[in-house]
């Protein structure tokens, strides 16, 4: 299994030898030929059908994923020193350094009335080049049938000193030649070696180009200044875009690529949308001092933003650090801050997080809708009088009409007067759900000004980011709930499903949610539903409730709380459309429908041998990996050695020093998206 991300680092216009090796490596690692074809399309040398023909001619060779890794490394990929800036977990704060919606467009300064084209050209060449360095420029064009002008021939064997000398003594025509005033003129902003005009011919990696024609020029101008980029020249292209020559000051091509990726990612998150085709170091920009149709290509600003790349990076990191100040305990000992108000007394405070978990069809959505109504009206919810406030209910599963009807049905069933309907906001996102990393900033931007008491997300599997069995990825995912709670000062309430067979397998409610144990450790409160066997008990309930639903189910609600004493379990009837308290204790004798006992459970460390196999199966079914850690299974190494014996279908392996379980028959496994090959028994090597 090959990491396709490596292809992002390799230009499709690489050498023919590298291009062939990329294809061979992809085929060796089991990719489809279309992966190679899609990547090749991003280059100017692409020929339709060539990839498929070459692919079919490839035979098994020594060109493997390692070769692809090596090629990517030569173009700047560095898995060790890659900046943490790219990790989404580190972008929770950074992505909001600049909010483009708060940046007002600014009028782009026009060329001065006494514009001096030759003077600007001199300034450009003397600033960007040393006299002995070669300059690449283009003033020769041809016109496409669509009317656009394309560069025909580049001059790249002239030094900056020669051009500057002729500009000082004569005219622009004397120095560079006759300009095409319809097409303007191009120049390569980094110096060349005089032997060519490609990336390999660049001798100094001082500047990169950042430009965009996707947003108005006035917005471009405002954002380029707001982003504090170290811009040497900001040039009006004479058309739809501004060209920012940004100081990179890289020591080599690899560092250049890493820094440019960082700058481009920052621009994208700031709403600038730079043109990705401009990343390479030998890219053309517009030469100031030349007419392009009716407009000048001219310098708008000089030396704006940070002093250099390192200064900009320091500024960005300072802006991203909005962590609170450190506090010593002595500062608050005699003046303790008040605890946050209780939204659900004895269960949940304002600004905290709560998870409602249960098996499929437990009525979790009905329970959360009932909770939303209780908060909006400031009334009782399962024996707990809620603090009144506004609620944002994010509906990810029901069509909008069904959702509205459920709210009305519960109001009517509870015989509540709808006095505070304005306190309930519903976001219907069925079919339009976004992952939590995208949804979080939208919610904050849209609703931060509204004083909500709670945001209810129903259910979270629709917005989950990453593999729910991966502890690291789920820690990042849960971080978005923290951000919502902190920035909006709301309680975040969400529901999740049990893993297959978990209700009867685990006595501890915190263990039943599907996926990583992070779900059990992250919320401040966990409420868990477990089904009860109601055979022979419904008649008693119906005698007192003749209008009861045709089908009745029974449930036990238990809680694991961080801020409050342990919660007493409650037994509930689900009498459509809502759960009601078992006030007469009819369910007191009910057994759990999933275990047939009175609730003692089995516990994770008391399962039978076959249960461990089922747990491994369940986790693997939910992800893409073919191996699972002992921690995820919930078993110690010594216990695992007893359970996963030579006679079992599974065995324990050591991958990067971590013990994992996988099917014994496999000679190649995948763990955390990386592939490993069996080597010396239970030891494995990364492919």
Query: Is-contact 95 269, C-beta < 8 A?
Result: yes
Q: In percent, how much of the chain has pLDDT > 90?
A: 48
pLDDT of amino acid 611: 61
Terminal CA-CA length for the chain: 8
Tens of pLDDT, residue by residue over 443-458, are 888 887 788 999 999 9
In whole angstroms, give the CA distance from residue 469 to residue 433: 21
pLDDT of amino acid 86: 31
In a 10 Å sphere around its CB, with 0-12 CB exposed, 13-18 middle and 19+ buried, how is residue 68 labelled? buried
Query: Is-contact 286 242, C-beta < 8 A?
Result: no
Q: Is 90 exceeded by the pLDDT of residue 81?
A: no
Q: Which helix (H) or strand (E) is 152 found in, with range?
A: strand 149-159
In whole angstroms, give the CA distance from residue 70 to residue 67: 5
Q: Which helix (H) or strand (E) is 236 found in, with range?
A: strand 231-236
In whole angstroms, give the CA distance from residue 76 to residue 301: 31
Band the pLDDT of 200: cuts 50, 70, 90: very high
Model confidence, pTM:
0.48
The three-state secondary structure class of 654 is strand
- Range name among 23-32, 414-423, 554-563 with the lowest pLDDT average: 23-32
Residue 249, preceding peptide bond in cis (omega within 30° of 0): no
The CATH number that domain 342-530 falls under is 3.40.50.300
- Cα within 13 Å of Cα(533), Cβ side: 14
In whole angstroms, give the CA distance from residue 511 to residue 519: 9
Q: Is 70 exceeded by the pLDDT of residue 309?
A: yes
| Pairing assessment for the beta strands 353-358 and 491-497 based on DSSP bridges | parallel
The three-state secondary structure class of 277 is helix
Tens of pLDDT, residue by residue over 480-507, are 899 889 889 999 999 988 765 555 555 5
Tens of pLDDT, residue by residue over 170-188, are 999 999 999 998 999 999 9
- Range name among 133-137, 320-324, 501-505, 648-652 with the lowest pLDDT average: 501-505
Angle between helix axes 16-28 and 33-40 (nearest 10 degrees) is 150
Across all residues in the chain, what is the average pLDDT?
85
pLDDT of amino acid 388: 96
Band the pLDDT of 598: cuts 50, 70, 90: very low
Band the pLDDT of 512: cuts 50, 70, 90: low
CA dist 635 to 353, 508, 514, 628, 650, Å?
28, 15, 17, 11, 14
Give the CA angle between residues 539, 412, 421 to the nearest 5°: 145
Q: Indicate the DSSP class of residue 569.
A: P
pLDDT of amino acid 80: 42
* Other beta carbons within 10 Å of 619: 23
CATH fold for domain 100-319:
Alpha-Beta Plaits (3.30.70)
For residue 598, what are its two tokens?
A: 């009175």
For residue 112, what are its two tokens?
A: 């001065």
| Mean local confidence (pLDDT), 138-144 | 91
Tens of pLDDT, residue by residue over 104-124, are 999 999 999 999 999 999 999
- Cα within 13 Å of Cα(39), Cβ side: 23
Q: Is 50 exceeded by the pLDDT of residue 608?
A: no
Q: Indicate the DSSP class of residue 338.
A: P
Band the pLDDT of 603: cuts 50, 70, 90: very low
Tens of pLDDT, residue by residue over 45-62, are 888 889 988 888 887 665
Query: Is-contact 471 516, C-beta < 8 A?
Result: yes
Q: How many residues does the chain have?
A: 687
pLDDT of amino acid 675: 83
Q: Which helix (H) or strand (E) is 297 found in, with range?
A: strand 295-304
* Other beta carbons within 10 Å of 7: 22
Query: Is-contact 149 292, C-beta < 8 A?
Result: no
Residue 89, preceding peptide bond in cis (omega within 30° of 0): no
In whole angstroms, give the CA distance from residue 230 to residue 224: 10
pLDDT of amino acid 477: 86
Of 388 and 38, more confident? 388
Of 524 and 647, more confident? 524
- Range name among 419-433, 526-540, 610-624 with the lowest pLDDT average: 610-624
pLDDT of amino acid 594: 67
Burial track 202-211 (b if 16+ CB lie within 10 A, e otherwise):
bebbbbbbbb
Tens of pLDDT, residue by residue over 230-250, are 999 999 999 999 999 999 999
The domain segmentation of the chain, as residue ranges, is 4-77, 100-319, 342-530, 607-686
pLDDT of amino acid 499: 67
* Other beta carbons within 10 Å of 250: 22
pLDDT of amino acid 494: 93
pLDDT of amino acid 299: 97
For residue 185, what are its two tokens?
A: 């003129």
Query: Is-contact 391 453, C-beta < 8 A?
Result: yes
| Mean local confidence (pLDDT), 656-677 | 80
Q: Is 50 exceeded by the pLDDT of residue 92?
A: no
Band the pLDDT of 600: cuts 50, 70, 90: very low
Q: What is 32-49 written as a DSSP string?
A: -HHHHHHHHTTSTT--TT
For residue 491, what are its two tokens?
A: 């309680």
pLDDT of amino acid 597: 38
| Mean local confidence (pLDDT), 292-321 | 90
In whole angstroms, give the CA distance from residue 116 to residue 120: 6
Band the pLDDT of 601: cuts 50, 70, 90: very low
Band the pLDDT of 285: cuts 50, 70, 90: very high
In whole angstroms, give the CA distance from residue 504 to residue 615: 13
Tens of pLDDT, residue by residue over 7-48, are 888 888 888 888 988 888 888 777 888 889 988 988 888 888
Place of tokens 């390192």: 310
| Pairing assessment for the beta strands 342-344 and 134-143 based on DSSP bridges | unpaired
Place of tokens 């100031």: 288
pLDDT of amino acid 91: 33
Band the pLDDT of 599: cuts 50, 70, 90: very low
Q: Is 50 exceeded by the pLDDT of residue 609?
A: no
3-state SS, one letter per residue, for 124-135:
HHHHHCCCCCEE
Q: Is 70 exceeded by the pLDDT of residue 322?
A: no
For residue 12, what are its two tokens?
A: 């499709």
pLDDT of amino acid 179: 94
């Amino acid at each position: 299994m090959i990491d396709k991300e490596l292809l992002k680092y390799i230009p499709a216009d690489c050498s023919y030898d590298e291009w062939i090796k990329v294809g061979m490596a992809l085929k060796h690692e089991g990719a489809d030929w279309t992966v190679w074809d899609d990547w090749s399309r991003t280059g100017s040398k692409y020929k339709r059908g060539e990839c498929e023909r070459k692919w079919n001619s490839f035979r098994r060779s020594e060109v493997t994923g390692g070769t692809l890794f090596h090629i990517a490394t030569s173009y700047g990929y560095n898995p060790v020193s890659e900046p943490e800036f790219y990790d989404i977990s580190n972008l929770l704060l950074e992505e909001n350094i600049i909010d483009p919606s708060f940046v007002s467009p600014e009028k782009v300064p026009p060329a001065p009335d006494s514009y001096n084209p030759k003077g600007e050209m001199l300034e450009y060449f003397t600033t960007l080049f040393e006299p002995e360095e070669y300059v690449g420029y283009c003033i020769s064009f041809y016109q496409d049938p669509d009317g656009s002008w394309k560069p025909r021939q580049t001059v790249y064997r002239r030094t900056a000193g020669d051009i500057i000398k002729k500009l000082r003594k004569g005219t622009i025509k004397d120095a560079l030649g006759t300009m095409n005033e319809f097409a303007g003129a191009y120049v390569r902003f980094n110096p060349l070696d005089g032997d060519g005009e490609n990336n390999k011919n660049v001798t100094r990696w001082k500047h990169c180009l950042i430009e965009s024609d996707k947003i108005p020029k006035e917005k471009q101008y405002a954002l380029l200044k707001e982003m504090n980029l170290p811009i040497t020249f900001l040039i009006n292209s004479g058309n739809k875009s501004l060209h920012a020559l940004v100081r990179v000051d890289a020591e080599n091509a690899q560092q250049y690529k890493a820094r440019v990726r960082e700058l481009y990612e920052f621009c994208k998150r700031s709403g600038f949308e730079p043109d990705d085709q401009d990343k390479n170091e030998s890219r053309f920009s517009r030469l100031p001092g030349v007419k392009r149709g009716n407009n000048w290509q001219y310098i708008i600003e000089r030396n704006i933003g940070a002093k250099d790349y390192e200064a900009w990076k320091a500024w960005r990191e300072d802006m991203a650090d909005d962590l609170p100040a450190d506090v010593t305990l002595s500062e608050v000992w005699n003046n303790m801050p008040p605890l946050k108000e209780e939204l659900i007394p004895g269960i949940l405070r304002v600004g905290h997080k709560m998870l409602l978990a249960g098996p499929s069809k437990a009525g979790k959505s009905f329970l959360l809708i009932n909770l939303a109504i209780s908060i909006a009206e400031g009334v009782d919810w399962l024996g707990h009088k809620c603090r009144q406030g506004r609620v944002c209910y994010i509906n990810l599963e029901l069509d909008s009409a069904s959702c509205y009807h459920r709210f009305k049905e519960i109001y009517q069933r509870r015989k509540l007067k709808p006095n505070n309907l304005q306190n309930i906001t519903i976001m219907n996102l069925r079919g339009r759900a976004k992952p939590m990393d995208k949804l979080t900033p939208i919610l904050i931007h849209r609703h931060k000004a509204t004083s909500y008491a709670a945001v209810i997300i129903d259910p979270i599997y629709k917005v989950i980011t990453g593999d729910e069995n991966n502890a690291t990825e789920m820690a990042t995912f849960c971080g978005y709930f923290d951000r919502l709670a902190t920035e909006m000062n709301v309680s975040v309430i969400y529901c999740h499903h049990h893993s297959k067979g978990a209700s009867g397998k685990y006595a501890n409610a915190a263990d039943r949610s599907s996926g990583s144990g992070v779900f059990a450790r992250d919320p401040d409160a966990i409420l868990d539903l477990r089904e009860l066997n109601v055979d022979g008990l419904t008649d008693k309930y119906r005698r007192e409730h003749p209008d009861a639903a045709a089908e009745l189910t029974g449930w036990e609600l238990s809680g694991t709380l961080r801020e409050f004493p342990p919660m007493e379990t409650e037994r509930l009837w689900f009498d459509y459309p809502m759960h009601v308290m078992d006030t007469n204790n009819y369910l007191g004798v009910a057994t759990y429908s999933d275990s047939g006992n009175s609730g003692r459970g089995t516990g994770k460390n008391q399962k039978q041998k076959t249960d461990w196999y089922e747990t491994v199966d369940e986790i693997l079914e939910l992800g893409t990996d073919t191996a699972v850690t002992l921690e995820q299974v919930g078993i110690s190494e010594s216990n695992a050695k007893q359970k996963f014996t030579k006679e079992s279908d599974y065995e324990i392996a050591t991958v990067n020093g971590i013990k994992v379980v996988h099917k014994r028959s496999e000679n190649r496994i995948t763990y955390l998206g990386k592939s490993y090959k069996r080597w010396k028994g239970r030891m494995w090597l990364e492919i």
